Amino acid sequence: MTDTKSSRETKHEALLIIDLQNDFCPGGSLAVSEGDMIIPVVNEVAAKFGIVVATKDWHPQAHVSFASRHGKEPFDSIELEYGKQVLWPDHCIQGEAGASFHPELDQRPLTMVLHKGTSRELDSYSAFLENDHATPTGLDGYLRTHGITRVFICGLATDVCVKFSALDAVQYGLETYLIEDACRGVNVPEGSVDSALHEMTEAGVRCIGSSELRHRSRGSY
């Protein structure tokens, strides 16, 4: 029997690929160690889903999260109206090469590209909500339109945008899985990846390996 894409698709499930962009991969301005090493795994997994959403950080110049704007050092933090803001090197600036998807990411399975962090005065880690925890990105509405009740999450970085996306997915009532070997973390400060995994697990996120999806069938989770 031929294993066609249609036979592999499972209704009510979606894959979220978080921020697989040049600036977060080796050579980028905010590189995650071995960030590019997950791409073959992500490509393999993405081919198994009918709904695949990929997010992009898409910041304007002088974004509020950039340390350079405030005369601070990267990884310092400041207090803003919406709470603590970690400051980062300039990254993923709209239209620049660093904001593009990594060239090895297979974009053919993508059904939606979601841009986040587009407001100069508001950062966004989660694929669902901006950092004020009130402004939606539109992802929840898109998933509901397609009847999605279960999401699988991969990408960069485990302890930042992946974590916040997974936690918000749970809050939106979605059955949520983290594909652990298809993620990498910043791990600043040291131990933050382990802390993020613990926090996600405590919130109800299930951590799995990509091998568990190779022969997946509906209702197997």
What is the set of active-site residues?
Answer: 19, 116, 161
3-state SS assignment for residue 34: coil
Q: What is the dihedral of CA 96, 102, 108, 112, to 10 degrees?
A: -60
Write the CA distances from 40 to 9, 46, 181, integer angstroms.
19, 10, 11
Sequential DSSP letters for 172-184: TT-EEEEEEEEEE
- β-strands 77-80, 83-86 pairing: antiparallel
CA distance 17 to 83: 26
